[in-house]
Amino acid sequence: MKGHVYPRGKSYTYVFDLPPDALTGEQKQKTKGGFKTEALAWSACRKAMTDAEKGLDVKTTNITLEKYLYEYLETHAKPNFKPTSTTPKKPLLKPELYRYSVK
């Protein structure tokens, strides 16, 4: 993963490519600016790239609770638990709770 720092007005900004999204395959970039020196921008860029590689880059989303729970079952629970643990005998939640967003 490569990063780039460039001057923008009186401050510096970094940009780097994030790993492709697991669900959509979409490639995105992470950009952050406002650093007083180039060295500070590079330091923040390296930390952000390390966090992104470890999967610690948390994004805000408006995904519903229902979608979140099913995504969790598919990506984490099914590969790590017995099939009897991941196949619910009744709905995970009451249907009226599915409309809430997870932030």
Calculate the average pLDDT of the chain.
81
**Measured distance CA(98)–CA(94) in Å, rounded:** 7
Contact 59, 98 (CB under 8 A): no
pLDDT(95) > 80? no
What is residue 38's three-state secondary structure? Answer: helix
Position 55 scores a pLDDT of 75
Position 96 scores a pLDDT of 67
List pLDDT tens digits, range 34-67.
999 999 999 999 999 988 888 776 666 677 777 8
Contact 17, 2 (CB under 8 A): yes
Non-local CB neighbours of 93 within 8 Å, separated by 6+ positions:
65, 66, 69
**Measured distance CA(63)–CA(42) in Å, rounded:** 33
24-33, 46-55, 81-90: segment of lowest average pLDDT: 81-90
**Measured distance CA(29)–CA(19) in Å, rounded:** 9
Position 71 scores a pLDDT of 81
